[in-house]
Structure 1
Amino acid sequence: MLRRLALTFLAFGIGSLSVQAQQRFLGQGVMSGEVTSTSVLLQTRLTTQEGLDETGDLPGQTGTVRFEWSTSPNFESSQSSEPLSANRDNDFIARHKVSSLKPGTRYHFRVLASSPEGEQPLEPIGHFQTLPSEVSEAPIQFLVFSCMNYNKFLHGNQARASGPLTATDEDKRLGYPALVQMREQSPAFFVATGDIVYYDNPYRNAETLPELRQCWHEQFRFPRLIDFLKEVPGYWSKDDHDFRFNDSDHGKDRLPLPQTGIDVFREQLPIVPAGDQESPTYRTFRVNQHLQIWLTEGRDYRSLNRMKDGPKKTLWGEEQKQWLQDTLKASDAKWKLLISPTPLVGPDDAYKKDNHANLKGFRHEANEFFEWLETNKIERFMTICGDRHWQYHSIHPSGVQEFACGALNDENSRMGVPPGSPKGTDPEALIEQPFLSPEPSGGFLSVTAGENLLIEFYNDEGQRLYEARP
């Protein structure tokens, strides 16, 4: 009798362990990206748990999943993807492109994970809204943010934080405070302009593939980021820190190497369909009748920073530059917004050679582009940029206006460089600057585009600091 009971308990224990071993988690939530009026990319990562393990990473788990989507929150009359493999080769990420969607329509989506007991729906459940048709006159709002420095946020001065140390213990558990304010605005979408993670920091440098991937795992496990991404579709661009390291180009043998940085960025974010190694990461989207946006690629095709500036030096590369000009000329949108990882106008720090605003950087290409805009009568063209850790509204002598979104978190912010500063790229004060951050602060931009255009600057507490109506 005792032996039979022991065997029964042993069998129950083995069964419990088996069920436990088969548990599936979405420790980085779900997200949608590259939304158009008829398509979207859905993404998740299968994990062994929620939250970081003792090594500070979030381990992935091999498995098979499907995405299910419907216009009904109860998933009535739903559609689903084919089974998708989450495995070590793709960092346990599953991504699927959904097509043939209806314009201006809200869709709900979730992940179905395979198990011996059958498919199980996993949480969280996400939703997105497709862009309206190109003839829609209804205003649409979106957000722009940049520079999410994880180590400065968590470790402050140990990571050489440049701004005020305001992150509480609760913030360090839940994530960046600005995400709460951004979610409350219920934007149609967002654009993240680069430095989504930082591979390089005095606190810790990431060089190998596992180390690079860990930077993404630790960033995207924050509950506030999960809550934001499950509700708001995004468009992502990379800059220097989520490519290789500060002001990085394709020179130097320092790790990570350029191709590794390119590959990991495409792996970790819903920018291109899974396995797509060919499609460029510069692209344009018609948002409504009034607005078209352009997202440029600033790292893949650039000349070396140390090269002398002139006609042969390029940040964009000839193919991307031609694409930009062709699509701008073809556009009949009233508002044309180039959303760039780096500034074209500035001012910026005088010592840098990394961007279009820098004196020894890529200034020739920028000026040539501004002249092209004027010659071809490209009207109501403006730029929005990330990279700089302060917010500003600047107007180039040619009339081109630029809006910088600043860093997302306080600890990564700093005071800016005004026109006329001998330490800046505009020592003669040729640039007009209606707004410059009065103090170091994290924050983001809001853009509302209809017949009129409204651009608003917010700090990470949701306080509106400035607005422009170009």
Structure 2
Amino acid sequence: MSLSYTWVGATTPAAVIVKARLSGDTARLHVSTESDLADPVKSEAVAPENGVAELKVDGLKAATRYYYGVEIDGDLDREALGRFRTHPVLGEPADFTVAATSCAGFEPEHPGTGDVTVPARVSNHPVFSDIRERDPLMLLHMGDIHYYDIGSGEFVPDHDVDTYRGAFDDVFAQPRQAGLYRDVATQYVWDDHDFGPNNSDGTAPGRKAAAQVYRERVPHYELSDEVGIWHSWTIGRVLFVALDVRSYRSPDDDPDGPDKTMLGAAQKAWLKGVLESSDAAFLVLLPVCRWFDSSSNDTWSSFAEERSQLIDMFDSLGWAGRMCLVVGDLHAVAMDSGGNSPGRVPVFHFASMDSRPSVVNNHYDLGPSLPGRGQYGLLRLNDTGAEITVTATGYQGAEKIKSHSFTVGVSGTGHTCTPEEEMKEKRAKTEATSRPSLWTRLKQTVRGLFYNS
């Protein structure tokens, strides 16, 4: 019997899910407020399926640090203890920070170590340890956890469930990645390279295998579809929605129109239902792909009609003016306050962990994008009850490279939003916090000259 790795996620004010890759007949989760796991709360003993046990514990205290370990066949493994924090009380104002990032394994600076299938398509970059040391409440992982492009035949020959399982095993064979996912509750959705081939869509040959292995390996909130992985959760009074932009996607080169979709009808109906029924005060939406960028047809700009439908949905359901988008995909840190983005919604790009930097993009109203590796973001949401201040900060390693803050007035919960005029005034007041230092602006200029050359 042995424990290969654990992945913690789907946390709430009272519960947690840990997926444990192991060999053994039964497994049980021990959870305690003490680092030595004294007086633990224990899950039911379960038998692993396909080498993975899904371990659940509830009845925990809100806003509390916990430690955990896995018992296998009656013996507690103390060599790889993990940690997490439960969410603040649901529906109450709270001040918390989540991390966000994506993309590790395209021409990595720190290729995969150990006996892995394609070392040059996974990463063991120090950024994973950097994020772990920040100790956010949660990590929003927006895809491209590896770059195996399963189904293309370029890096791995097959697109069956064993290939997808092997890809996750290779990711967790990287010590820094494994440490991050063990110690920071992670909500992960795929993008193209970890779902199928580059720019993959609903025709990807491994589509159903990807869906099966996601459910086996990834700790996740409730899923409403047999294939798609879209889901939502709420922290305090902030609603988070993670979209699936691959499972039912039309091919990128289809002409734009009413039948072209990135989400599919079922996901859009689900999204409308979530937005109609939620009494949260603020929305963080993860659209995965770039919200506006005409330099590639693998962005929302090639699905402009459906994007307009979403904007109309946000507006009609009262979310306009009290939401933001958090995006990966672009291998850069970039921010738009809503001045240029469709729907006038603030957009924050945080990437890449370890992939070849993108070229500089200049269509963001808070300055050009900052391409690079070792990059991620922290999103702080400070809800005082009367207003919510959102502070987005991009980092490269330990260095802060870009930041923007804005405040939204909220009156209790429900569909109350700040008028556009008030939002403009608040953006003007926070402009100084968005403006990088002279040293950072100089580095941005040099970086722009380099990456556009």
Taking structure 2 as the reference length, the TM-score comes to: 0.78
Structure 2 counterpart of 1:6: none
Which residue is equivalent to 2:326?
Answer: 384
What is the alpha-carbon root mean square deviation over aligned residues?
2.9
Q: Is the 8 A contact 1:150 1:219 kept in 2?
A: no
* 2:168 aligned counterpart, secondary structure: helix
Tell me the distance in 2 between the aligned counterparts of 1:264 and 1:414: 30
Pair 1:268–1:151, CA change in 2 (3 A): farther
Aligned position for 1:139? 95
1:147 counterpart letter in structure 2: C
CA deviations over 1:357-393 (Å, ceiling 9, x no partner):
22xxx11100222133334442312111111222211
User: How far apart, in 1, do the equivalents of 2:83 and 2:279 lie?
Assistant: 31
Match of 2:308 among 367, 375, 382: 367
Matched residue of 1:230: which SS? helix
Q: How many Å separate the matches in 2 of 1:433 and 1:181?
A: 28
Partner of 1:79: 41
Percent identity at matched positions? 24
SS in 1 for 2:130: helix
Are the counterparts in 2 of residues 199 and 206 from structure 1 also a CA contact under 8 Å?
no
1:150-196 deviation line (CA, Å, top 9, x unaligned): 7634559xx9999xxxx9xxxx7xx2111222122111111101111
Question: Which sits farther off after the overlay, 377-386 or 239-248?
Answer: 377-386
2:384 maps to 1:435: no
1:329 shift after superposition: 3.5
The amino acid of 1:285's aligned partner reads: W
Equivalent position of 1:406 in the other structure: 351
Q: 1:415 to 1:82 in 2, by over 3 A?
A: same
After superposition, the Cα gap between the structure-2 partners of 1:466 and 1:65, relative to the gap in structure 1 and judged at 3 Å, is: same
- In structure 1, what is the Cα distance between the partners aligned to 2:163 and 2:107? 14
Q: 1:109 to 1:311 in 2, by over 3 A?
A: same
Name the amino acid aligned to 1:77.
Answer: D
Deviation of residue 279 (structure 1)? 8.8
Question: Deviation digits for residues 396-440 of structure 1, max 9, x if unmatched?
Answer: 15311211112111x432223333xxxxxxxxxxxx431333443
SS at match of 2:329: coil
2:402 matched to which residue of 1?
466
Alignment CA distance shift 1:45-1:276 (3 Å)? farther
Q: Is the 8 A contact 1:412 1:442 kept in 2?
A: no
Paired residue secondary structure (2:82) = strand
Give the equivalent residue in structure 1 for 2:177.
225
Q: Can you list the C-alpha shifts for 1:126-172, whole angstroms capped at 9, x where unaligned?
A: 1211111124333100100101117634559xx9999xxxx9xxxx7
Q: Any conservation in 2 of the 1:315–1:355 contact (CA below 8 Å)?
A: no
Tell me what 1:242 maps to. Answer: 194
* 3-state SS of paired residue (1:131): coil
1:311 equivalent to 2:270? Answer: no
Q: Find the aligned partners of 1:383 and 1:287 in 2 and give their Cα distance.
A: 16
* Corresponding residue of 2:281: 334
The alpha-carbon distance between structure 1 residues 27 and 415, as it changes in their structure 2 partners (threshold 3 A), is: same
| TM superposition shift of 1:277 | 7.7
Please say if 1:26 is aligned against 2:3: yes
Give the SS at the match of 2:272. helix
Give the letter aligned to residue 18 of structure 2.
L
Number of aligned residue pairs: give it: 389
Could you say which residue in structure 2 is the equivalent of 1:425?
Answer: none
Aligned 8 A contact 2:20 2:55 in 1: no
Contact 1:243-1:261 at 8 Å conserved across structures: yes
Which residue does 1:349 correspond to in 2? 295
- Please say if 1:40 is aligned against 2:2: no
CA distance in 2, matches of 1:203, 1:155: 18
Structure ID, larger Rg: 1
Change (3 A) 1:279 1:41: farther
Partner SS state of residue 219, structure 2 = coil
Contact conserved, 2:250 with 2:262, CA < 8 A, in 1? yes
Q: Output the CA distance in 2 between the equivalents of 1:206 and 1:94.
A: 28
Scaled by the length of structure 1, what TM-score is found?
A: 0.75
Structure 1 residue 454 and structure 2 residue 391: aligned?
Answer: yes
Closer/same/farther in 2, CA of residues 73 and 299 from structure 1, 3 Å limit: same
Name the SS for the 2:344 alignment partner. Answer: coil
Using the TM superposition, give the Cα deviation of residue 267 of structure 1 relative to its aligned residue in structure 2, in angstroms: 2.0
